[in-house]
Amino acid sequence: MTNTRLKEVSRVQNELRLNNKDSYFSRRTILFMLEDKLKFLISQKNGEKSLYRENQLFAHMSCFELEKIDVIKCGIVEFRTCKTLMKSKERLPETVDSKYFNNILNVTSIDTGSIFSPLTVREYAQSKRRKYAHIERLTYYIIDGYLYIPDYEVYAVDLDILTLRVEETVKKSACSKEDCCKSYWDYPLISSDRLAEAAVREVIQELVGTVKSIPPDENPNLDENIKSKTTN
């Protein structure tokens, strides 16, 4: 992946300087705009039913660790009838919020021999009361950012997640071979280079239009304090 936060923010800053050498937008401001554009583009693709065709949109997490917890002490009433209950040691990275699609593409055991399907705790409770409840179905639940897997003892899973916090997918992956000491700015905006490029183009277009609408500075390249004195 080549669309690091620093690279794409610098592209926007350089384009703005070409249009107005005194224009300045902080890296954080530009990054916020890029992330906002990405969320819109993702929502748009979902509306077009093309979200899952986007290459490398989901970030991969390998060996996301879980631990067994006491079902009796579990605060989730529906899970107290579980044979066993696994909970992720850490919260999942923040996902791109949406009411219309699942932010997790898949959850599998490390050897990919077991595939887990999403369900709500209410659906889980209902499934326990059905005629064929004894037939094992591997499921997972996301509650308060934590991954839960009931009725199946597994201590690590692989998953693909839709997030703008790609650095967290690396730091929370026990099997990751990437350098976890990299700077926040050296991680990609999102796993998809195509979406990152589209977001950069839209932010540049928006900010260049803003810069061009600002009256020319009569005292270019001066410190802000000096500018205020010369214009009083």
3-state SS class at 198: helix
Instruction: Give 190-222 pLDDT, tens digit per residue.
Output: 888 888 999 999 999 999 887 766 565 555 555
- Please tell me which residue, 173 or 50, carries the higher pLDDT value: 173
Q: Please give the structure tokens belonging to residue 88.
A: 């992720």
pLDDT value at 74 more than 50? yes
Are 194 and 11 in contact, with CB atoms under 8 Å apart?
no
Instruction: Give 115-174 pLDDT, tens digit per residue.
Output: 999 988 788 777 766 544 544 679 999 988 999 999 899 999 999 998 999 899 988 998
Q: Taking Cα atoms as reference points, which of 67, 85, 89 lies closest to residue 150?
A: 85
pLDDT value at 230 more than 70? no
Backbone angles phi and psi of 32, in degrees to 5:
-60, -45
Q: Long-range contacts made by residues 53-56, C-beta under 8 angstroms, separation at least 24?
A: 54/192, 54/194, 54/195, 55/192, 55/194, 56/1, 56/191, 56/192, 56/193
pLDDT at 157: 96
pLDDT at 229: 47
